Each structure stands twice: as structure tokens, then as C-alpha cells.
Amino acid sequence: MSKDKKSKKFDHVVEELEAQFHSLQSKLGKAKDDYLKRHEKDFSKAKKKVDELKTKAAKAKAKSQKAAEEAKKKGTKAAQNQWKKAKAAASLLGDSLKEAKDIMSTAEEKLNTAKPFDRKLAARAKALEAFEKEWDKKLKAEEAAKAKKAAARKKKAATKKKAATKKKAVSKKSAAAKKTTTDSGQSE
């Protein structure tokens, strides 16, 4: 683990799991990019090998047939040995071709399995991205609503304070007016 991850403290296990989830999701995203390509590469490599071996096997088979005809015509021991060698080479190439075809079919199966999995990973990443966008919108809306409520409370408090100040001023004026009225009533 890096120093950043070790030094980071989580208040709750949910926060730790969320961080791990995002880490895994980013790793999946990076791995997804080369997952299908790797299987395609393996398949094309196997297909190329099969094609090469097909060509070699076809040449060996033709050579074996030619050697067989030579052996029939000449009937010599050397011609028969040459035919046996050509036949053995063709047989070996046939076995190699069969093995290469098996490898190619396995690679094709893996590729066919990888394609839906790649689509699944892409869909999952897309869904997660959409969820994250919606979540961010929701958090922003909640913050805006809180700010709006706080502004409304401040405005209400300021209005109350202003009204209280006005009320005090009015009551002072009315008290002063009463005092003046009582003072003027007493002076007469």
C-alpha cells in the first residue's frame, strides 16, 4: 500500500468500502480497455498459425503424392524411403494443424466470451457514470436548497429585527408623545 492509503483514516467502514469500490472500478476500466484486444490478438495469432500450417500441410501432401507416384514408377528402395519421409512429414504437419486448430477454437471461444463481458463492463461503467452524475446533481440541489433556506432565515431574522427596531422606535415616540402630552397637561 502507498503512504497515502495508509495515512488516510476513514470515519466509517462505509467510507472505506466506497473508496475501495472506486479503486476497483478504475482498475476494471483500465483492464477493460485491453481485455477484448488481447483476446482478439490471441485469436488472430492462432488463426495465422493455422493458415500457415494449412499451406505447409497442403505442400507436404502434394509432395507426398508426388513421391508416391515416383515410388510406383521407379519401384526403387530410395524412392519408397523418400515417399515414407514425405508421408511422415505430411502426417506431422497434419497433427500440428489439428493442434493449432484446437488452439484457435479455444481462442475463438475466449473471444466470444470476452465480447459480452466487455459489453457488460462498458454498460456497468456507463451506468455508474450516469449514477455519479445524478448523485452530484442531487448533492448540488441539496446544497442549493440549504443555501436558499439559510438565506430565507437570514432575511426573516433581518425583517424581524427591523420590525422590532421599528416597534421600539414607534413605542419610544409614542412614549415621548405621551410624556409630552402629560407634561403639557400638567403645566396648564
CA gap 116, 129 in Å, rounded? 20
Question: In order of start, what are the domains of the chain with their CATH numbers?
Answer: 10-172 (1.10.287)
Q: Which residue has the higher pLDDT, 43 or 165?
A: 43
pTM recorded for the entire structure: 0.52
Q: Is the pLDDT of residue 2 over 80?
A: no
For residue 10, what are the contacts with CB-CB under 8 A and spacing of at least 6? 16, 19
Give CA 87 to chain center in angstroms.
53
Longest CA–CA span in the chain (Å) reads 164
State percent of the chain over pLDDT 90. 19
